[in-house]
Chain A
């Protein structure tokens, strides 16, 4: 069965729901957002990912109307949002602390926004019931926020922000306060709800796994700038910089000098060693400094030098990190570099072939590594 891939950002005719146009935000001397331009499309699940202080929360608060851009324009559905206060925007926000009203019950919390619209009572009640069902909170309708668990509170916050059926829902680290297991369950719940309601979600997170799981596109941010925007798979497989490669997942970085060879580059990473070869469409020019990024799981580890492999390096196992399903080998190659290689533990522990101090060969194909400017 053919599936249409959801990728409105590739369609030139598609109108973006949100447009950041050369937006700069300064707090005194500090530049939180630096001349940022970005489109977000309807029904997207857009993740802003970055370390704390990178400006992702500021971006979200500007969408919510809690901060105003120092320069530039923000458009939602084609309308300039300048001077529009939060209560006049078809945007709702789920706060990091949930910001549930402690003096109101779960029901009243969810009904809060609807009551402000002055809707008739039966309509409000029906909508709240619907939200309670959607978030599986019907049993807790009469409880106060302090009488329910963290995971339930998170769902109340979500139900409250969805109750007004906003065009755009902003989620500020929505799962930060939940423990790991609950967080993973909730991520799928979020995706499910997003799909059911057809709302555009913009999520702020510093958890790369979370961003990868839920988002249709991820924007990796650093110091007020978006470094790369792409689908989770592209971000992981084709990072555009050392920063992104390093921020998302585990990576080995080898610095070296690239010279063009065939359909890619030969990279000399150490004196007197055979250069490594990587296919790439990136153009660094004929000869340049570069960095080679290789994911640990793309590095094979063998006892003998494998035949017919483009890249192979000899090394010694220094450390083994056993993670249960996976093991990560820290291998010191000649020249002192440490390379991480990851293998799935498909056999029992006692039958594992390598141990500390073993001499092994690391190898990878010519498409496994990414050549980056360095």
Chain B
């Protein structure tokens, strides 16, 4: 009985906090828009008994999903999101790996401080931090003023409201998620493995390629997923830092919900986004499991 209760806790949690909301969203995606509160129809009406339930199910269809295929805005937004998320992930890896490596090489007594510095940004609101990037990147921002002052450039760079700003924002925000799993993998790395590689004829650089990189692979994969998955559905960063040409599905979703007040289409967009995300999430889970097996 006790065991059953223990197992039941996570399942109840999933049911209440994931499955039920998902079913609600999925149901809305099958409905039609209506000028009402809530702004869709049909709604479940128990007062008319069986008749009401039958009418409810008869009113559901896949019309909104079909609509998504007719307007190329949607698939372009999905593709563009995938692209932005993928590029951001690669950039985060390029920036994050050296930082994680440096942390793992640092003397033991420095590590808690370095770890603290990585986590410190989380103490402030994410929204405020993204806002502050507007102040840095805008035409009259700190970055342009600094570059103009040093004389490197004569005209301010146009960064804010471009995809570049979105990349900067995403890399900045999700960098800790890249650093921490890589650091965890590198910290476990036995220094004698590198010495053994050198002893067997590797230079430092080849030892890094042949030993350090493969042995931190699990951390790299975990970090990439942890950046890619939230970046794909990102809404705040593209809408604050991106321009009109920045097409991301999170932004489309927001606009459908709140500007168009078309909940059913917005829900359909959300359901598709979730389906796209399921693939990397499943791959991520499998990676984690493989790692546990390798360690066990």
Instruction: Write the residues of chain A forming the contact surface with B, with a CB cutoff of 8 angstroms.
Output: 64-66, 85-87, 91-93, 95-97, 99-103, 112-113, 116-117, 146, 160-161, 164
B199 touches A93 (CB 8 A): yes
Distance, CA A103 to CA B199, complexed state (A): 18
B202 touches A99 (CB 8 A): no
- B198, CB-defined interface residue at 8 Å: yes
- B192, CB-defined interface residue at 8 Å: yes
Residues of B within 8 A of A101 (CB): 193, 196-197, 211
Number of residues of chain B lying within 8 A (CB) of chain A: 19
Known: A116-B206, A146-B294. A99 touches B195 (CB 8 A): yes
Q: Mark B192-218, 1 if CB is under 8 A from A, else 0.
A: 110111111111001000110011010
Distance, CA A143 to CA B171, complexed state (A): 40
- B108, CB-defined interface residue at 8 Å: no
- B71, CB-defined interface residue at 8 Å: no
A312 CB → nearest B CB, Å: 55
Residues of B within 8 A of A161 (CB): 199
B175 CB → nearest A CB, Å: 26
Distance, CA A102 to CA B196, complexed state (A): 12
A113 touches B201 (CB 8 A): yes
A99 touches B214 (CB 8 A): no
B45 CB → nearest A CB, Å: 61
B144 CB → nearest A CB, Å: 46
B198 touches A97 (CB 8 A): no
Q: List 30 A-B contacts (CB under 8 A).
A: A64-B195, A64-B199, A65-B199, A85-B203, A86-B195, A86-B198, A86-B199, A87-B201, A87-B203, A92-B199, A95-B192, A95-B196, A97-B192, A99-B190, A99-B192, A99-B195, A99-B196, A101-B196, A101-B197, A101-B211, A102-B294, A103-B215, A112-B200, A113-B201, A116-B200, A116-B206, A117-B201, A146-B294, A160-B200, A161-B199
B2 CB → nearest A CB, Å: 34
B202: which of A65, A96, A116 is its contact (CB, 8 Å)? A116
Residues of A within 8 A of B197 (CB): 101, 112
Distance, CA A95 to CA B294, complexed state (A): 22
Distance, CA A96 to CA B191, complexed state (A): 12
B198: which of A87, A102, A160 is its contact (CB, 8 Å)? A87
A114 CB → nearest B CB, Å: 9
Residues of B within 8 A of A103 (CB): 214-215, 217
A81 CB → nearest B CB, Å: 14
A334 CB → nearest B CB, Å: 55
Distance, CA A161 to CA B192, complexed state (A): 14
Distance, CA A92 to CA B198, complexed state (A): 10
Distance, CA A112 to CA B201, complexed state (A): 9
Residues of B within 8 A of A117 (CB): 201
Distance, CA A146 to CA B294, complexed state (A): 8
Distance, CA A116 to CA B199, complexed state (A): 11
Distance, CA A65 to CA B214, complexed state (A): 25
Residues of B within 8 A of A66 (CB): 195
A305 CB → nearest B CB, Å: 59
Nearest residue in B to A170 (C-beta to C-beta)? B199
Residues of B within 8 A of A113 (CB): 200-201
Residues of A within 8 A of B199 (CB): 64-65, 86-87, 91-93, 161
13 new A-B contacts, CB < 8 A, other than A85-B203, A86-B199, A101-B196, are A64-B195, A66-B195, A85-B198, A86-B195, A87-B199, A87-B201, A92-B199, A92-B200, A96-B192, A97-B190, A97-B192, A100-B196, A116-B200
Residues of A within 8 A of B202 (CB): 87, 116
A93 touches B196 (CB 8 A): yes
Residues of B within 8 A of A160 (CB): 196, 200
B219 CB → nearest A CB, Å: 13
Nearest residue in B to A88 (C-beta to C-beta)? B201
Nearest residue in B to A157 (C-beta to C-beta)? B196
Nearest residue in A to B296 (C-beta to C-beta)? A146
A99: which of B193, B201, B206, B217 is its contact (CB, 8 Å)? B193
Distance, CA A97 to CA B195, complexed state (A): 12
Distance, CA A99 to CA B200, complexed state (A): 12
Nearest residue in A to B206 (C-beta to C-beta)? A116
Nearest residue in B to A110 (C-beta to C-beta)? B200
Distance, CA A101 to CA B211, complexed state (A): 7
Residues of A within 8 A of B215 (CB): 102-103
Residues of A within 8 A of B206 (CB): 116
Nearest residue in A to B207 (C-beta to C-beta)? A87
Residues of A within 8 A of B214 (CB): 103
